[in-house]
Structure 1
């Protein structure tokens, strides 16, 4: 018996060593709670996968799985919450462990969930070092672009462009790999990690939201025979992302913004629990406009610029579960109403700027071009867009030194033959990535490669804003479970959010 036990111990040790040698990864336990198993690692990853002689960097990876299971042999599902640049491995609020409950609701238990901090973000290497503090002054968005307000806005925009031009020169000098932060290279990183964790030629599974939907499309375009279960929500059209110049693309992001705002207000009006009892759209507009160029110290303590008010409202519109929070802040302004904001300093996320520009179709344009484009948005689309459009689109990419972004990028997404269909999800009314972008994406990929689940009466960014599954009488859950179980046979179908859901959120 003694020798048998020794032999078993030796065999067990050999198995561990063999597994480690095959896996090639040094894992450590990193669970944020005791609900799931979780392990993390910094994995050597090629800077350029087609040319490994250009060196490697450390990519942070986290995987999560159920307590009662062994991770070896499980299918793996990547999670990407968008951003771009939100670390899907290490972020405590948006990372893979934080969203495990939601993901397991859709997949069932038999998956290992994987989050990656994309190159340049989170705990991964290739950080963007711009060599100095970023103190560019974002122009405050005026209530109207005309008269004296237009003159001031033009001046501020010119100062902002000049400041960014100098700042981006520092970024490029200190971080010569900026163009290699783009989605073209990030997609290769995902394939690389899949090969290491599961095996070469294995099918890749991905749940991607917002920018993560574009990552999924690039991954599919580069590796069409590796597409497993791809669920992409809050869809970024490849045409808008990579083929349209910045000034042309801005309206594409905002066509549903006012409709979401209308629902935002009307749901509050119908709820006895909303903390802004006298809310109307007109009053919110009056309050936000009153902040512009104000000298009232009481107002400035809450909102130093009109852009900040718009930003508060706009970002809150992303998730209906947060709607009541915005009205709590806005209602404070009503008690100190007076008129007229200063311009504020904002820290721009350097990695986000680089990722966006590496993906974008970059063209030069003048201050006059920018002003005229914004007038068109004000007059024909929405006045409720916020200062983040300055870096979410390619609005400042032309300010980088010439030839900064010269690496390859994917621009052709048609004519593919994917190994499996991608399931796209879109709310009928998304404040930043409207349904039209999802419909356009499905049309580009074709019926053989894509199907769309439309969430009628769905408001907010992605079909599950902030990880909250809206009340569709279980429709979203049923459709996604069917997809993960290989039971889908419809190309276009719908779920409907119960209208009372938005009123009840204020409770």
Structure 2
């Protein structure tokens, strides 16, 4: 969902269409708006979609819309049929980049149909570079996990960054900076390895501009040429949506940008350094987590002792990180649970308050047990970090290796290579830990860090302005108060840039996108927008979370907001 700039573990998915289904390609031309192939839908395999009303299909696209000789790709699609009188199609992208649209729609089709009034077919897809069904699909640079582990053995890539507090201990700083030369070499070698791998030849055709054109071509096939296109993009999907309105302003129908990645920032700044701008609400979301735990009490949150305040629950978590940090530095070999691994495991778990109880009562206690066993044994023998690290590296293919799908898309879209090196990236991490997010700025690795050494860019990137656009319809922008992946400030920046072409709504919650917590208010606004284009007139509109949504038993978002530390950020 991440940017979905965040890694997501996704099980392999499989599609079996009824025999005889084929794609009829009427003609292949470079123009996105030319006659498109027909899509024939069939019932999805039950292993893919538990809802028998969902349909699946394939759609052929040119790898390069400006050079037909490059060849043809194939997109895997899924559709939820309109439940009322059909008015057209709404396309859905759940973010990542790299999250499966097929798997996402399988999970939330009823929610999206209800939110949009049931008058639109909801179509999602695995974009080029994503999954095992779309061609080209997931990007790989290693043939196996063993190959991956051997390559990264002894580097920060596997065990994360060791630091405490606000990264002010000079010994921690010196230790990290001493690893910059080796990390720089490894990242450069990774880029060449990816180029030389079997997927290397298609890396330049995996990118957001091409995916925009794919969506326009799908709209042509489903709703006819030249019509308005409806789209709901979440997280990275908002960058796809922003590029769509920039490339095809006259085709903008109902467009919802939910959890915004600021396209101006992404299009002008070095990705490896701009990442810090996305962390401005991370510690506030973390504050929400430990405050909710304290309100839940020890009977419902195992991280809390009886009667502990939010600050004391935070101290418990910091003590765990300190113990893992100290043992890792004292050990004479690989460590299974480092403080870096704990931070990198926690960060995506903070995205959704509905999972905070599991983080507090299952995930962190297991990590704490691992640290206690290490300290108690006084030995670092064991997994070398792999059993834990795999949980946050991302989805795995049938061949059980590590994909670089997110990096391929994100870096392929990025600004041209600069002189930025890993030393500058490390320095920025230290500064960001000290000034923006002490809790998660040091979480390593992250996809944007690869962009300073990624050797290829997409053959087409949108590099225009988002100012002074004349859109066929106004856009709905939604941001959460404390979103740890795409801060509300990004949604505000994009809305200000679009001017009267957009309206913004703030969902007063923690977490990432409107999927973070249910809100009847958001639902009403989306349905009104989808029905007749109605948008709130006031750009200070705030929606609250439904009061029956509980993070822990008896603990609501409203109660957590009311009990945040006094220095928590406000809007």
Q: TM-score, normalised by structure 2?
A: 0.76
The counterpart of 2:63, out of the listed 41, 47, 50, is 47
Report what 2:123 is aligned to: 114
Aligned mates of 1:226, 1:80 — CA distance in 2 = 17
Alpha-carbon distance in structure 2 between the residues aligned to 1:234 and 1:37: 29
What residue is the counterpart of 2:291 in the other structure? 266
Q: Secondary structure at the match of 1:485?
A: helix
> For residues 481 and 153 of structure 1, what CA distance do their matches in structure 2 show?
50
CA change 1:28–1:281 in 2 (3 A) is: same
**Deviation digits for residues 1-52 of structure 1 (CA, Å, limit 9, x no counterpart):** xxxxxxxxxxxxxxxx9x9989623432116467452222222111112332
3-state secondary structure, aligned to 1:169? helix
Measure, in 2, the Cα distance between the counterparts of 1:501 and 1:119. Answer: 36
Corresponding residue number in structure 2 for 1:168: 191
**Shift in CA distance, 309/303, structure 1 to aligned 2, threshold 3 Å:** farther
- In 1, Cα distance between the equivalents of 2:367 and 2:140? 38
1:331 is aligned to: 365
Q: Give 3-state SS (helix, strand or coil) of 2:243's partner.
A: helix
Q: Distance in 2 between matches of 1:445 and 1:504?
A: 39
The residue aligned with 1:204 is: 229
SS at match of 1:37: coil
Aligned pair 1:497/2:545, yes or no? yes
- Structure 1 residues 351 and 505, CA gap change in structure 2 (3 angstroms): farther
Match of 2:89 in 1: 76
Contact 1:31 1:37 in 2 (8 A): no
Task: Check whether the contact 2:160–2:445 (CA below 8 A) recurs between aligned residues.
Answer: no
Structure 1 Cα separation of the partners of residues 252 and 325 of structure 2: 49
Q: What secondary structure does 1:291 align onto?
A: helix
The answer on 1:488 being equivalent to 2:535 is yes
Match of 1:25 in 2: 39
Shift, 1:185, TM fit: 0.9
SS in 1 for 2:97: coil
Alignment correspondent of 1:371: 426
Counterpart of 2:414 in structure 1 is 360
Q: 1:229 aligns with which of 238, 254, 268?
A: 254
**Secondary structure in 2 aligned to 1:96?**
helix
SS in 1 for 2:342: helix
Task: Indicate the residue corresponding to 1:218 in structure 2.
Answer: 243
Task: After TM superposition, list the pairs within 5 Å mapping 1:102-501 onto structure 2.
Answer: 102-122=111-131, 123-127=133-137, 128-130=139-141, 132=143, 133-135=147-149, 136=152, 137=155, 138=157, 140-143=160-163, 144=167, 146-174=169-197, 175-272=200-297, 273-278=300-305, 280-292=313-325, 294=327, 304-328=337-361, 329-332=363-366, 337=372, 338=375, 349-361=403-415, 362-385=417-440, 390-393=445-448, 395-401=449-455, 404-405=456-457, 407-411=459-463, 412-447=465-500, 449-456=501-508, 458-465=509-516, 468-469=517-518, 472=519, 474-486=520-532, 487-492=534-539, 493-497=541-545, 501=549
Q: Which moved more, 1:249-258 or 1:480-489?
A: 480-489
Unaligned runs of 5+ in 1: 1-16
In 2, Cα distance between equivalents of 1:288 and 1:372: 21
Residue 459 of structure 1: how far off its partner (Å):
0.5
Mapped partners of 2:63, 2:114: distance in 1: 35
Any conservation in 2 of the 1:231–1:424 contact (CA below 8 Å)? yes
Distance 2:169 2:425 in 1: 14
Aligned length: 473
